């Protein structure tokens, strides 16, 4: 008689085996773990600056303005740095960006603590923001160079999506706690230091660096171009960012309105934990369909599930619904990154992979602002209306993007430098 427990065990072995296969690739564990640590500045600087400036100046508006300036600068510069990495290599790009990041961030700390003119805070925030390299796209590019197996790449991108989520789960609470209990600037300094350690470790791993893109000296149509469908994927990620930003504001406002400010961290963590768990499961699974069809399904599920947040009538219910909404998030992030890798030219892959996080950051900024306006005008619950609307928009954009890619698949790359046909 067969053991009824055998199928689950077999499935578990297959699932863990896929992660084991991915990390059996030489150097993969080192560059992936270094990349996770290197993400800390991106996850911690904005919130650290917000808390530091607000604590020192007594103005949340000023703190939000300086933090928002840093975030927008970071979002704008990310693809440019990734293009530099494609052309000149990750080691050179990191060696150039890290000194700028350290100098500008510590300069901003000094300017705030010493009472320098406020305009200098904004100037230094811009420099700090444009000095942050998108480590996530750099690591994904290394995975793409390390294996040509689509199944292993899917698992690898799932690992990195979970790493993104985990960094944003861990960094903000740590930064806030340090700023509250130790010193207003402690969160910025510690988050920066952790990130520098990870980035330096990645910089030193030359063996797994992707091959450099060849120089293109003319401006003719022979240049390798980024895919047209990338615009749609970036728009979807902007909608996801809108969900993140608006949910954060609405959840915090709801907790404060009920007199349970400390519960806001639990609400945010519930969403993130749900997303991380699904990311782990999706990474281990062999999903049916093409990258495009998986992206559409994930987008539609996201658009249907996230609006359940509107049904919350109490903090415990909101925490449960936030967890459920989080479950629908990682699949869209993972399938979106996989689709970018599928349709993009290898010679500009790092740059292509940096554009979705840029859309995400812009969406977070816009979602936070719109949710804040809604909360101030109509109460905390209205902030979740912004969240639901952003999720629905993301679903529509995912569908439109898939239709665009189906109708115009040949627009992915142009010219004689075109890579071979991508797997679909």
Domain ranges of the chain: 26-153+162-212, 224-410
Query: Taking a C-beta distance cutoff of 8 angstroms, is the pair 386, 364 a contact?
Result: no
Query: Taking a C-beta distance cutoff of 8 angstroms, is the pair 179, 185 a contact?
Result: yes
Map residue 279 onto helix, strand or coil.
helix
Q: Count how many Cα atoms sit within 13 Å of the Cα of residue 327 in the half-sphere of its side chain.
A: 13
- Domain 26-153+162-212 bears CATH identifier 3.40.50.970: no
Q: At what angle do helices 263-284 and 6-23 cross, to 10 degrees?
A: 90
**Secondary element (H or E) of residue 288:** none
Local confidence pLDDT in tens for the 424 residues of the chain: 444 444 455 555 555 777 788 888 888 888 888 888 888 888 788 878 887 887 888 776 787 788 888 888 888 887 788 788 878 888 888 999 999 999 999 999 999 999 899 999 999 999 999 998 888 888 888 888 887 777 787 778 778 877 877 776 667 667 777 877 888 888 899 989 999 999 999 889 888 888 776 655 445 444 456 677 888 999 999 999 899 888 888 887 888 788 887 677 788 888 888 888 888 787 666 777 788 889 999 999 999 999 999 998 889 999 999 999 999 998 999 889 888 878 877 677 777 777 888 888 888 878 887 888 888 788 888 889 999 999 999 999 999 998 988 765 544 433 333 333 333 3
- Cα separation, 413 vs 405, in Å, equals 12
- Cα separation, 305 vs 123, in Å, equals 41
pTM flag (> 0.85): no
**How far is C-alpha 366 from the geometric centre of its chain's CA atoms?**
15
Token output for 149: 């197996």
Q: CA torsion sign, 281 to 284 to 286 to 289?
A: positive
Alpha helices in 209-314 (DSSP H): 229-257, 263-284, 291-305
- Cα separation, 17 vs 10, in Å, equals 10
Q: Provide the residue count of the chain.
A: 424
26-153+162-212 shares its CATH topology with 224-410: yes
CATH architecture, domain 224-410: Up-down Bundle (1.20)
Query: Taking a C-beta distance cutoff of 8 angstroms, is the pair 36, 173 a contact?
Result: no
């Amino acid at each position: 008689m067969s053991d009824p427990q055998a199928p689950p065990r077999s499935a578990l072995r297959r699932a863990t085996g896929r992660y084991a296969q991915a990390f059996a690739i030489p150097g993969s564990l080192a560059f992936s773990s270094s990349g996770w640590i290197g993400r800390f500045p991106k996850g911690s600087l904005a919130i650290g600056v917000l808390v530091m400036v607000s604590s020192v100046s007594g103005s949340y508006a000023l703190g939000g303005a300086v933090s928002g300036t840093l975030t927008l600068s970071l979002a704008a510069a990310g693809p440019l740095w990734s293009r530099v990495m494609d052309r000149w290599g990750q080691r050179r790009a990191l060696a150039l960006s890290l000194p700028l990041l350290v100098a500008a961030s510590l300069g901003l700390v000094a300017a705030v603590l010493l009472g320098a003119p406020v305009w200098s805070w904004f100037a230094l925030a811009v420099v700090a923001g444009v000095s942050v390299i998108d480590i996530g796209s750099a690591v994904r590019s290394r995975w793409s160079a390390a294996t040509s197996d689509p199944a292993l790449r899917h698992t690898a991108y799932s690992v990195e999506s979970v790493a993104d989520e985990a960094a944003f789960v861990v960094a903000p609470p740590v930064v806030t706690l340090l700023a509250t209990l130790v010193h207003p600037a402690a969160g910025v300094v510690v988050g920066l230091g952790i990130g520098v350690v990870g980035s330096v470790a990645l910089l030193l791993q030359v063996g797994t660096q992707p091959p450099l893109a060849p120089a293109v000296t003319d401006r003719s149509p022979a240049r390798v171009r980024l895919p047209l469908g990338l615009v749609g994927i970036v728009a979807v990620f902007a909608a996801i960012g809108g969900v993140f930003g608006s949910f954060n504001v609405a959840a915090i406002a709801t907790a404060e309105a009920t007199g349970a400010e400390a519960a806001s961290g639990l609400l945010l963590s519930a969403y993130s934990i749900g997303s991380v768990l699904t990311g782990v499961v999706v990474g281990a699974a062999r999903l049916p369909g093409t990258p495009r069809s998986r992206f559409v399904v994930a987008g539609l599920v996201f658009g249907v599930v996230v609006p359940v947040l509107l049904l919350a009538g109490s903090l415990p219910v909101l925490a449960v619904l936030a967890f459920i909404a989080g479950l629908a998030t990682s699949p869209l992030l993972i399938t979106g990154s996989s689709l970018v890798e599928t349709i993009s030219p290898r010679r500009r892959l790092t740059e292509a992979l940096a554009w979705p996080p840029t859309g995400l950051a812009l969406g977070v900024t816009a979602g936070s602002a719109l949710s804040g306006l809604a909360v101030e005008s109509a109460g905390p619950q209205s902030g979740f209306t912004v969240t639901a609307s952003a999720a629905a928009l993301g679903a529509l954009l995912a569908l439109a993007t898939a239709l665009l890619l189906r109708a115009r698949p040949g627009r992915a790359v142009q010219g004689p430098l075109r890579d071979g046909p991508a797997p679909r």
